[in-house]
Amino acid sequence: MGKIINLNQLADIKKSCKKIVLVGGCFDLFHIGHLRFLESSRNTDAVLVVLLESDETVKQLKGSDRPIHTQTERAEILSHLDLIDFVILLPPEMKDLDYLAIIKTIKPEIISVTEFDPMINKKQLQADLVSAKLIIIPKSKAPSTSKIANILTKEQV
Residue 141: band (very low, low, confident or very high) from pLDDT cuts 50, 70, 90: confident
Work out how many domains the chain is built from and give that number: 1
Stated pTM of the model: 0.90
Q: What is the pLDDT of residue 154?
A: 67
Q: How far apart are CA 101 and CA 106, in angstroms?
A: 9
**Which residues are 114's β-sheet partners?**
137
Structural domain including 67 reads 4-156
**pLDDT of 8 higher than 90:** no
Report CA-CA distances (Å) from 69 to 25, 55, 84, 113, 122: 13, 8, 19, 22, 26
Could you tell me the maximum CA-CA distance found in the chain, to the nearest angstrom?
52
CATH number of domain containing 21: 3.40.50.620
